[in-house]
Amino acid sequence: MKHYNVAGGMFDPFWKELPFANIHDSVTPDALHQLYQGVLVHLINWVQKTMSKDELDRRAQCLPPTYGVRHFRNGITSLKQVSGSERKNIGKILLACLGPDTHPDAVKACKALLDFIYLALYGSHDEETLTYMEEALNDWFKSRNYFLEAGIRDDLNIPKFHSLLHYVDSIRKFGTVDNYNTELFERLHIDFAKQGWRASNKRNHFPQMIQWLSRREKILSFNSYQSWLQSLYDAKSTSNPAFQLSKAYQYTIAKHPAEPHKGIARIVISHSAPNFLPCLKLFLNSLRKSPQPRSRALKAELPIKSLDVWHQFKLKPDSQVDGEVIEEIIKAVPFHGKSASPQARFDNVVVLFSDSAESTSLQGKFSF
């Protein structure tokens, strides 16, 4: 039996005589190119044909900006060479853009595929979650005929849609899809090639890139050693919740405040924060070596009358999402008629305050 490769040559594969080799098992799912850059791309194109590109852009622009969700100010059509992370952000808002005037079968089909994508990307699976994946795939098969009946597609014989049938079996055999997702290597290409190229002078760049990577590794090794030393010291300070929160996240804030020396009374009014003053007193009291009782701290007079106010800060959690470090911007912009964008914006943030909140997802402390 002869085997032919894509170029037309003929060869004998090394696995031909191996009794337990199954070449089909070597083709594992690829979440980046099959789900985000494949299935989701088709789904977005079909939605655009259902309501027109301009209408989908208009609905994406009308969505209010919020934490964790990208706001597409210029719509989706204007994007060129869309990356995997941008596809993920489009997937987050796609279902909300369908609206009540979209055919119910189209909504069900989109919901089923989005459910399948997010379920497939779970970091751990059991038979219950795999059953959810199978149910989402069945819902897709029940509703997908709408795209044929509406004339959007002549057929649905698309290889990347066929690959969805093999996800559950692959997860049972090889574990979660992050074990064999090419997104990790795409990310390494940015770290090891693109950034090194930008750091060079573009002439005889390979030695420069190697030297740049070597220095980066040395810096990373030194930072790891410093973090280890710092962890020994931090073990004595774990009783302070504010300290624990600062260790869990990395903050970036502007050098100069948006509103310097703003009166506390004005902060309470403009930010609609009636409890700001007592919370500020309790926070300052917690920083003392010998904190006063709560009732006494609330009656105390503040030694300050104004504060510097920042309207936003960047938050980088000490974790990765699908192999990518995510940086978010948290905004608290009060209404100001003289500003370029007079509308107010206050992002809601759910803060994990204790270990007991992690098991139920929503128990804990909420910060607004």
Between residues 360 and 214, the one the model is more confident about: 214
> What was the pLDDT predicted at 199?
87
> What was the pLDDT predicted at 194?
83
> What was the pLDDT predicted at 227?
85
The answer to whether residues 125 and 79 belong to one domain is yes
Rounded to whole angstroms, the Cα distance separating 197 from 206 reads 8
Q: Does the pLDDT of residue 238 top 60, yes or no?
A: no
The answer to whether residues 36 and 128 belong to one domain is yes
Phi/psi-derived region of residue 75, left when phi > 0, alpha when psi is between -120 and 50, beta in every other case: left
Mean pLDDT of 152-171: 92
240 within a domain of the structure (yes/no): no
Task: Report if pTM > 0.75.
Answer: no
Q: Which domain range does residue 292 map to?
A: 259-309
Residue pair 217/192 in contact (Cβ under 8 Å)? The answer is: no
84 within a domain of the structure (yes/no): yes
Least confident span in 172-176, 250-254, 263-267, 324-328: 324-328
Rounded to whole angstroms, the Cα distance separating 71 from 85 reads 13
Going by DSSP bridges, is the β-strand pair 249-252/306-309 parallel, antiparallel, or unpaired? unpaired
Tens digit of each residue's pLDDT (9 = 90 or more) over 57-79? 999 998 887 777 888 988 898 88
> What was the pLDDT predicted at 356?
66
> What was the pLDDT predicted at 145?
93
Tens digit of each residue's pLDDT (9 = 90 or more) over 285-338? 998 888 889 999 898 888 888 999 999 888 876 554 444 556 778 888 887 655
11 within a domain of the structure (yes/no): no
> What was the pLDDT predicted at 360?
53
> What was the pLDDT predicted at 192?
81
The answer to whether residues 129 and 28 belong to one domain is yes
The answer to whether residues 55 and 160 belong to one domain is yes
Looking at the DSSP assignment, which residues form a beta bridge with residue 367?
349
361 within a domain of the structure (yes/no): yes
The answer to whether residues 38 and 170 belong to one domain is yes
Q: Does the pLDDT of residue 6 top 60, yes or no?
A: no
